[in-house]
Amino acid sequence: MRGQVLSLAVVLAGTLAVPLGLRALNGAVPGADVRDSYLPTVETPRPREPFDQAAADAVREVQPQFVVIGDSMAGIRIDPLQLSRQAHRQVVGLYQQGSPVAYWYLAFKNLAVENSLKSLRGAIFFFRDDQLTTQVQVTPGSLDRVARDHELELDRVLAANRLGVFSEVHRAARSVYQFDRTRTWLEPVLLHGPAKLAARTMPAPGLLKAINTEVFALDRLRPFETADLAASQGGALEFQANVGDSLLPEIIRLAEGAQIKLAFIRVQRRPAAEGPPPQSPELTAYVNALKGYLEARGAYFHDDWGDPDEPLSMYADGDHLTAEGRLRYTQRFSERHARFLQ
């Protein structure tokens, strides 16, 4: 019996101990000693683009009273110069096309709150539907230009969102085994081997790039949901279940600390010919819960959904407005939200 228990202990110990050899491998392989990212719990060590100090300096030079933050939904709706003229306030747009909430958070933190903007009064976030709480995850590199060397709060929130209550275990495992560092040199070796065999006339990186940009180009994809066998169901629109692991509390905390007003504008998606865009009861409930949450914390909330002043004729492609629509929207925005812009 004792021998059996010992052999079980040996197997369990071996399972946990052998991967420590990855550290030795990392030490032996040239180029494997890359730095941790600013998101050490959730992201593999990798080279990064530097923080965009010039952008931070440019914003500081303007000393805006309001910043408008978001992705193309904000950029295609608000012309900062026009809004500055109409509201008689200095407004700067911190837009990034296709950016996630984490980008908005970092732009707010590093380009506004912690950028010595002495006259900053408010920040206006534009978003679609459930974007504020569900699109929290990030792809590597997408935040580099707005991230400092250490983004502990963002790392904490993303880790909790992705890894739950066990994020500390993940952090410890990454630190002890250093498996992410192994991945940074091992994975390219694995990917390039088959690529060299598949295309002898083309270098492996060239083939991989061509596969991504030509074979799997976005315009060659069919609607995602029909292709995903294991698509998740439900859950995403439960506001209360998601808000705790989102960046909203952190954005509000930052604003409170800096005594900055916050506004959240839910943009209207492309309307139908005969009226507002369709909206499920679940999404309506979600938006109501979001509104209640924000207003209870002193933030301003406005929902563009069903606005008769935003007919289909204002839209170009998708949820984007035409250039003329942008001018009209900006004008309406300054009138409708004049009190906030005071």
Partner 1 sequence: MIFHSLEFAAFFIVTVTIYWRLPLAAQNVLLLVASYVFYGWVHPWWPVLLLITTVVDYWSARRIAESVSGSRLPAPSSRKKWLWLSIAANLGLLGVYKYFDFFVGNVAAAVAALGWNIPPIALRLALPAGISFYTFQSMSYTIDVYRGHAPARRSFIDVAAFVSFFPHLVAGPIMRATNLLPQIEQKRTFSAAAARDATVVIVWGFFKKLVIADNTGVIANKVFALQHPDFFVLWAGVFAFAIQIYADFSAYTDIARGVAKWYGFDLIRNFQRPYLASGPADFWHRWNISLSTWFRDYVFIPLGGSRRGPGRVATNLMITFLASGIWHGASWNYVLWGAYHGVLLIIARAAGDVRASLQARKPARPRAPRWLRPLQVIAMFVLTCIGWLIFRETELTQLIADFALVPSASTAIERSAGIYLFLLALLYSTPLWAHDLWVELGGLDLTRSIDKPEAWVPWTRALAQAALCGVLFAVILTLRSQTALNFIYFAF
Question: Rounded to the nearest whole angstrom, what is the least distance from the CB of residue 246 to partner 1 in the complex?
Answer: 19
Q: Which is nearer to partner 1, 94 or 102 (CB)?
A: 102
- Would you say 112 and 90 are in contact if contact means Cβ atoms under 8 Å apart? no
Mention every residue, 6+ apart, whose C-beta is less than 8 A from residue 187: none
What is the distance between the alpha carbons of residues 258 and 236, in angstroms, rounded to a whole number? 31
- Would you say 289 and 244 are in contact if contact means Cβ atoms under 8 Å apart? no
Mention every residue, 6+ apart, whose C-beta is less than 8 A from residue 167: 41, 156, 159, 160
Q: Which is nearer to partner 1, 163 or 289 (CB)?
A: 163
Question: Rounded to the nearest whole angstrom, what is the least distance from the CB of residue 113 to partner 1 in the complex?
Answer: 32
Question: Rounded to the nearest whole angstrom, what is the least distance from the CB of residue 154 to partner 1 in the complex?
Answer: 19
Question: Rounded to the nearest whole angstrom, what is the least distance from the CB of residue 28 to partner 1 in the complex?
Answer: 15
What is the distance between the alpha carbons of residues 126 and 71, in angstroms, rounded to a whole number? 8
Q: Which is nearer to partner 1, 232 or 313 (CB)?
A: 232
- Residue ranges binding partner 1 (CB under 8 A): 1, 3-8, 10-19, 21-22, 163-164, 166, 169-170, 173, 177, 179, 182-183, 186-187, 190-191, 193-195, 197-199, 202, 207-208, 210-211, 214-216, 220-222, 224, 226-230, 232-235
Q: Which is nearer to partner 1, 79 or 180 (CB)?
A: 180
Mention every residue, 6+ apart, whose C-beta is less than 8 A from residue 225: 231
Q: Which is nearer to partner 1, 176 or 272 (CB)?
A: 176
Question: Rounded to the nearest whole angstrom, what is the least distance from the CB of residue 225 to partner 1 in the complex?
Answer: 10
Question: Rounded to the nearest whole angstrom, what is the least distance from the CB of residue 253 to partner 1 in the complex?
Answer: 28
Q: Which is nearer to partner 1, 207 or 251 (CB)?
A: 207
What 3-state DSSP class applies to 181?
Answer: helix
What does the block give as tokens for 275? 């009226």
Instruction: Look up tokens 């931070």; give the residue.
Output: 56
170 half-sphere exposure, CB direction, 13 A CA radius: 19
Question: Rounded to the nearest whole angstrom, what is the least distance from the CB of residue 260 to partner 1 in the complex?
Answer: 36
Q: Which is nearer to partner 1, 18 or 323 (CB)?
A: 18
What is the distance between the alpha carbons of residues 136 and 149, in angstroms, rounded to a whole number? 20
What does the block give as tokens for 295? 């207003």
What is the distance between the alpha carbons of residues 216 and 218, in angstroms, rounded to a whole number? 6
